């Protein structure tokens, strides 16, 4: 029987890992790709950020406190919202930003709370060992889902302007005129998560499960967690995106039920 | 019915005063870009005037619920957009918005009225430009609105089909006591069928009858 205790990596062993960076640097140089700076910055940032997070998490786990867990969750949500805003710089109207500020936290937190308190039933309720990594996964994926939903909705409102106007002319309200766009955008937003679930366990072993197994957790326990987390991620993505779409379509119309771009474009 | 006071829409339209009477066929004529289509869009509230007031039966359009308004004032665009699917899907779409329904027999009667002899199950991808135009016409007829706004309804058709379609529209409007406001590029059609015409020149309007001018 193989000894399943964790092999702790020392500084020298991690340093050996950087050999890959050297190999890529050589390839970049040989091909004249001009990406040395990006590669070095990415490697340094990854290392520094993770080392810092390691220290922070160690400190938090040693002295757990409800306020610290709550702050960590809030920080992740705020960071996720600003990441979405930055991705669509100049493209988001003020009302649509408000919808993102509501839908991302609400959708993510509903899925998260259900998973943490009904499924895993963590003790104590602010246990950072569970709250921090699981919040990261759920909010991070909800952010990606909403980003896809926003992108799809903005593009479709532009591309399908004629269809929407035709529906309005025939007497549709905003909801009826946007019906297909909401459905198509929801589909676009949740598809990557569903594809991920389809390939899971066959095409690849998910990161969280791999991490747990490497840390010495029995695969059957790791799998149970992975299934639960995957469902929470799907819940977070679906809820936050759906909320965004059913609140967000209204921002494309004015109070006279006219397409805002139409009114401006004449 | 429609009463416009000092209505302006950007630099496109400037109408100090205009009255459109109910129960008549009003023709809108003038060069392209002179504001005819914009007036139709204003009347069905697809856009709102940048200045001035449009009244319908004494009530400002701004105060009327837009969706209810568009259900009684239906517009047929110059290039109507058909929804993906079949002929039936397209006929039922508007009815669905109006919370109405219709039997297949009635739908077929409307197709016969516009001389579109295709099965309800036919995909819209198999329709020619003229057939699509006629389907779009049947799609607004079936809604049984009080006021119809039509933007060059026969523009995609040859001369013979054009006359047939205009006569179909006029017969429908007269038989059902509807109001019709119709943009046309064809002066002889305006002269023959319209009770009154509004002539557009660079966003300004002049009312009258063509045979009086």
* Residue carrying the six token digits 């409800």: A66
Query: What are A19-32's pLDDT values in tens digits?
Result: 999 999 999 999 99
CATH class of the structural domain A65-252:
mainly alpha
Query: What are A148-184's pLDDT values in tens digits?
Result: 999 999 999 999 999 999 999 999 999 999 999 999 9
Q: Is the dihedral of CA B59, B61, B64, B70 positive or negative?
A: positive
Query: What are A194-214's pLDDT values in tens digits?
Result: 999 998 888 878 888 888 988
Q: Is the pTM of this model over 0.90?
A: no
The span from the CA of A16 to the CA of A20, in Å, is 8
pLDDT over 50 (residue B212): no
The span from the CA of B159 to the CA of B144, in Å, is 27
B204: left (phi over 0), alpha (psi -120 to 50) or beta: beta
> Is-contact A168 B70, C-beta < 8 A?
yes
Q: Which of B47, B80, B81 sits opposite A258 (nearest CB)?
A: B47
Domains in chain B: boundaries:
2-209
pLDDT over 60 (residue B213): no
Which secondary-structure segment (H or E) carries B7? strand B2-9
Q: Report pLDDT for A4.
A: 66
Which position has the higher pLDDT, B209 or B132?
A: B132
CATH class of the structural domain B2-209:
alpha beta
Task: Work out the percent of chain A whose per-residue pLDDT is above 90.
Answer: 83
Q: Report pLDDT for A261.
A: 67
The span from the CA of A67 to the CA of A206, in Å, is 31
Query: What are A34-83's pLDDT values in tens digits?
Result: 899 999 999 999 999 999 999 999 999 999 999 999 999 999 999 999 99
Q: Report pLDDT for A266.
A: 30
Question: What is the least distance, in Å, from the CA of A252 to any CA of chain B?
Answer: 14
Q: Report pLDDT for B202.
A: 81
Does B124 contact chain A (CB < 8 Å)?
no
Q: Report pLDDT for B210.
A: 55
Coil, strand or helix at B111: helix
The span from the CA of B46 to the CA of A265, in Å, is 12
Region(s) of chain A under CATH 1.20.1640: 65-252
B147-151 vs B73-76, strand pairing mode = parallel
Question: What is the least distance, in Å, from the CA of B98 to any CA of chain A?
Answer: 7
Q: Report pLDDT for A202.
A: 85
Give the nearest chain A residue to B149 (CA atoms).
Answer: A169
Extract the tokens encoding A49: 């950020």
End-to-end CA distance of chain A: 76
Average pLDDT over residues B187-212: 80
Cis before B194? omega within 30:
no
Does B10 contact chain A (CB < 8 Å)?
yes
| Residue from B174, B153, B150 nearest B165 by CA | B153
> Is-contact B36 B205, C-beta < 8 A?
no
Residue contact B74–A170, C-beta within 8 A:
yes
Q: Which of B71, B77, B83 sits opposite A171 (nearest CB)?
A: B71
Determine phi and psi for A58, rounding to 5 degrees: -60, -45
pLDDT over 50 (residue B30): yes
Residue contact A162–B81, C-beta within 8 A:
yes
Q: Report pLDDT for B211.
A: 54
């Amino acid at each position: 029987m193989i000894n399943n205790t964790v092999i702790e990596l020392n500084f020298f062993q991690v340093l050996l890992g950087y050999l890959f960076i050297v190999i890529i640097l050589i390839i970049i140089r040989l091909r004249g790709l001009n990406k040395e700076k990006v590669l070095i910055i990415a490697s340094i940032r990854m290392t520094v950020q993770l080392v810092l997070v390691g220290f922070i998490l160690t400190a938090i786990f040693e002295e757990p406190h409800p306020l610290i867990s709550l702050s960590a969750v809030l920080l992740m949500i705020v960071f996720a919202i600003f990441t979405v805003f930055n991705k669509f710089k100049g493209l988001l109207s003020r009302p649509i930003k408000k919808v993102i500020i509501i839908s991302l936290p609400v959708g993510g937190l509903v899925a998260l709370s259900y998973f943490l308190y009904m499924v895993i039933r963590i003790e104590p309720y602010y246990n950072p060992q569970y709250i921090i990594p699981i919040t990261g996964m759920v909010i991070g994926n909800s952010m990606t889902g909403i980003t896809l939903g926003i992108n799809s909705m903005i593009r479709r409102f532009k591309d399908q302007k004629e269809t929407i106007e035709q529906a309005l002319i025939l007497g549709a309200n905003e909801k009826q005129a946007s019906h297909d766009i909401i459905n198509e955008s929801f589909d676009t937003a949740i598809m990557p998560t569903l594809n991920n679930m389809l390939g899971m366990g066959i095409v690849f072993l998910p990161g969280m499960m791999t991490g747990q197994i490497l840390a010495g957790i029995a695969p059957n326990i790791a799998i149970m967690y992975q299934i639960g987390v995957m469902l929470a991620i799907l819940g977070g993505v679906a809820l936050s995106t759906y909320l965004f779409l059913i609140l967000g379509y209204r921002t494309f119309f004015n109070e006279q039920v006219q397409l805002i771009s139409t009114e401006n474009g004449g | 019915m429609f009463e416009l006071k000092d209505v302006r829409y950007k630099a496109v339209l400037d109408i100090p005063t205009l009255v459109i009477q109910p129960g008549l066929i009003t023709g809108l004529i003038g060069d392209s870009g002179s504001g005819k289509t914009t007036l139709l869009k204003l009347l069905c509230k697809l856009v709102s005037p940048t200045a001035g007031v449009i009244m319908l039966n004494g009530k400002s359009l701004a105060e009327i619920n837009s969706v209810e308004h568009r259900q009684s004032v239906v517009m047929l665009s110059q290039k109507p957009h058909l929804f993906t699917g079949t002929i039936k899907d397209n006929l039922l779409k508007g009815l669905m918005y109006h919370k109405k329904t219709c039997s297949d027999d009635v739908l077929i009667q409307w197709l016969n009225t516009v001389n579109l002899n295709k099965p309800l199950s036919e995909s819209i991808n198999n329709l020619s430009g003229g057939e699509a135009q006629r389907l779009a016409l049947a799609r607004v007829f079936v809604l049984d609105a009080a006021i119809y706004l039509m933007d060059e309804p026969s523009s995609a058709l040859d001369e013979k089909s054009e006359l047939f379609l205009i006569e179909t529209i006029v017969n429908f409007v007269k038989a059902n006591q509807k109001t019709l406001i119709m943009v046309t590029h064809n002066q002889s059609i305006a002269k023959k069928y319209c009770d009154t015409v509004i002539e557009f020149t660079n966003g300004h309007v002049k009312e009258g009858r063509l045979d009086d001018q």
